[in-house]
Amino acid sequence: MPQFDPSTALPQIAWLILVFGVLFLMMRGLLPRVEKVTEVRAKTIGDDLGAAEAAKLEAERVDAAYQADLAKARSSASSVVNDAKAAAARDTEARLAVVNAEAEQSLAAAEARIGDARVAAMAKLDAVAADAAADIVERLTGKRPEAADVDAALAAVAQG
């Protein structure tokens, strides 16, 4: 192997030192530029992260405001629905009261008509009973009794 040949070792070491020196000087000249680029990139990344964090906080604030507005809207809608239900209930109660009043009036009128019909029927019943009693007495005795006598007999039977 030529690397291990002692006759070529000295020139190889010289070239090694020369190439190493040139590379060292190049790196020494480029290193500040690389550091500067690294710092600029780090600053840009930091600024971007800061902006992203600020945007995230703003988005969270907007979301919280949205949720608060949404809750307020839901509460308002619930209040409107409850008010509408209450108004409908009041309207229904008022209509029901009117219908109940009309029904009670109709019931009272019907009871009055029934009472009148009962009185009329009872009056007719008394007349029919008196007529029937007079007919029975006439058939049994052959003589029709006086109306006053029949009424007195019916009154005595009704009392006792």
Q: How confident is the model at residue 153 (pLDDT cuts 50, 70, 90)?
A: confident
What is the rounded distance in angstroms from the CA atom of residue 141 to the CA atom of residue 89? 74
Instruction: Note the pLDDT of residue 3.
Output: 67
Report if pTM > 0.75. no
In sign, the C-alpha dihedral spanning 27, 33, 39, 43 is: negative
Q: What is the dihedral of CA 90, 94, 95, 101, to 10 degrees?
A: 150
First to last CA, the chain: 160
pLDDT by residue (tens digit) across 43-76?
A: 999 999 999 999 999 999 999 999 999 999 999 9
What is the rounded distance in angstroms from the CA atom of residue 55 to the CA atom of residue 36? 28
What is the rounded distance in angstroms from the CA atom of residue 133 to the CA atom of residue 129? 6
pLDDT by residue (tens digit) across 67-126?
A: 999 999 999 999 999 999 999 999 999 999 999 999 999 999 999 999 988 888 877 877
The overall average pLDDT reported for the chain is: 89
Instruction: Note the pLDDT of residue 1.
Output: 61
What is the rounded distance in angstroms from the CA atom of residue 153 to the CA atom of residue 81? 75
* Residue whose entry in the numeric block shows the structure tokens 């109709």: 106
What is the rounded distance in angstroms from the CA atom of residue 19 to the CA atom of residue 41? 31
Task: Name, in order, each residue with C-beta under 8 angstroms of 154's C-beta and a sequence gap of 6 or more.
Answer: 126, 129, 130, 133
Domain boundaries, the chain: 9-116
